[in-house]
């Protein structure tokens, strides 16, 4: 079945550590996205990529980094520079004109 796989589902991090969230899609979509969701809030765009080896900052990119070395993969690194990283992270992909297809999300907690 085609879809988006995010891992891990739950992740705990100590302050000062970098962590990487994985996102893989087999939908053959060109565009991929990372959103952050805080409790009771909407989704805010962190980074997006329209094509391999290219990506753009979204509204809240500070403290995050991404790479797009393969069409299927768009990992997100939450760096120690992100002051409040505890949140629910959602990865998505699309053709660029249709709806976004989402993964099941990764919940990051900073201890």
Partner 1 sequence: AQKITQTQPGMFVQEKEAVTLDCTYDTSDQSYGLFWYKQPSSGEMIFLIYQGSYDEQNATEGRYSLNFQKARKSANLVISASQLGDSAMYFCAMRDFSLAYQGGKLIFGQGTELSVKP
What does the binding site for partner 1 look like in residue numbers (CB under 8 A)?
31, 33, 35, 40-45, 48-50, 56, 58, 88, 90, 92, 94-105, 107
Whether cis (ω within 30° of 0) applies to the bond prior to 6 is no
Specify the residue, 16 or 98, whose C-beta has the smaller distance to partner 1: 98
Specify the residue, 75 or 88, whose C-beta has the smaller distance to partner 1: 88
Query: Which tokens is 95 given?
Result: 């053709």
Minimum distance between the CB of residue 30 and partner 1, rounded to whole angstroms? 9
Minimum distance between the CB of residue 77 and partner 1, rounded to whole angstroms? 20
Q: What is the DSSP string of 29-76?
A: -SEEEEEEE-TT--EEEEEEEEETTEEEE-TT-TTEEE--SBTTB--E
Specify the residue, 7 or 56, whose C-beta has the smaller distance to partner 1: 56
Specify the residue, 43 or 80, whose C-beta has the smaller distance to partner 1: 43
Minimum distance between the CB of residue 53 and partner 1, rounded to whole angstroms? 14
Strands 87-94 and 76-78, how do they pair? unpaired
Minimum distance between the CB of residue 16 and partner 1, rounded to whole angstroms? 27
DSSP 9: S
The total number of residues written for the chain in this structure: 111
């Amino acid at each position: 079945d085609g879809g988006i796989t995010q891992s891990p589902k739950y992740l705990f991090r100590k302050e000062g550590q970098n962590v990487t969230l994985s996102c893989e899609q087999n939908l053959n979509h060109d565009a991929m996205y990372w959103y952050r969701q805080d409790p009771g809030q909407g989704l805010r765009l962190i980074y997006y990529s329209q094509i391999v080896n290219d990506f753009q900052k979204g509204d809240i990119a500070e403290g995050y980094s991404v790479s797009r070395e393969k069409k299927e993969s768009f990992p997100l690194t939450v760096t120690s520079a992100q002051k409040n990283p505890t949140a629910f992270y959602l990865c998505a992909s699309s053709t660029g004109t249709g709806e976004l297809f989402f993964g099941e999300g990764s919940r990051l907690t900073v201890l």
